[in-house]
Amino acid sequence: GAGVSQSPSNKVTEKGKDVELRCDPISGHTALYWYRQRLGQGLEFLIYFQGNSAPDKSGLPSDRFSAERTGESVSTLTIQRTQQEDSAVYLCASSPHPPPLHFGNGTRLTVT
């Protein structure tokens, strides 16, 4: 069956521009997670959704970051006015219940 799909796989943007990252979870998975991984570092929790609501947004680094989920399916992570420190791989994961998580291949974001 299809796994977690993320798009784009790579995104290069200029500092100050807005970007949208998309995640299509595995069908039927109620929980969806966003993590950030900087080069050579671990996974940094950003936000998770249970259905369409986000019980925990504690990891969003600043108000430039926002995320939404619709139809208990697709989620978008939006970064406004991107900065160079936003450069990282953004990983999405989903699960049918509480963890374990199934990860997508990530979006590699480069801010120039």
Query: Hey, what's the torsion of the CAs at 24, 58, 42, 3, to 10 degrees?
Result: -10
Q: CA-CA distance, 90 to 38, in Å (whole number)?
A: 9
Whose CA is closest to 46, among 86, 14, 100, 95? 86
Structure tokens at 91: 């990983």
* Minimum distance, C-beta of residue 100 to another protein, in the bound complex (Å): 5
For another protein, the closer of residues 87 and 95 by Cβ is 95
DSSP letter for each residue of 61-78: -STTEEEEE-TTS-EEEE
- Shortest distance, position 13 Cβ to another protein, whole Å: 21
Q: What residue ranges bind another protein (CB under 8 A)?
A: 31, 33, 35, 41-43, 45, 48, 50, 55-56, 58, 91, 95, 98-106
Closest to another protein by CB, 48 or 65: 48
Q: Which is nearer to another protein, 28 or 99 (CB)?
A: 99
Q: How far is the CB of 57 from another protein (least distance, A)?
A: 11
- Least CB distance to another protein at residue 17 (A): 25
